[in-house]
Amino acid sequence: MSSYKPEFLVQGKWCDNAQRFATREEAEQSAQARFLVWTQPEDWRVSASDEPVSYARVDGRDVYLGVESHHVGCPALKRELNADGTVGALVRTEAVCTCKEG
């Protein structure tokens, strides 16, 4: 497992989109925020996924990470650690991205 995806129950079928988060907490926050404003879903859940992380929760918003231009471990992106040792927010660093040529 490399990510977590929000899923929504719509007309009796579980559906998802391309959003994949690094932590279950981020995926839950995203799903809950959308569930509160969307009118079609009947329920929501979070499932594990083998797909790469493509989004992060930043200041209460879903932020696209540009998966095609960054790989896991890219020095231009890092996860902060919370005081309690849990994984925190994804932040950009001063480092140069080494993911793309040129």
The enclosing H or E element of 12 equals none
Tens-place pLDDT, residues 11-67: 999 999 889 999 999 999 999 999 999 888 999 999 999 888 888 888 888 888 764
pLDDT at position 85 = 62
Tens-place pLDDT, residues 13-23: 999 988 999 99
Hunting for tokens 């890219």 — which residue is that?
74
Return the DSSP state at 100: S
- Under 8 Å CB-to-CB from 86, ≥6 apart: which residues? none
Cβ atoms within 10 Å, residue 26: 25
pLDDT at position 68 = 45
pLDDT at position 69 = 46
User: CA-to-CA distance for 20 and 22, rounded, in angstroms?
Assistant: 7
Mean pLDDT of 62-76: 64
User: CA-to-CA distance for 42 and 93, rounded, in angstroms?
Assistant: 39
What is the value of pTM for the model shown?
0.64
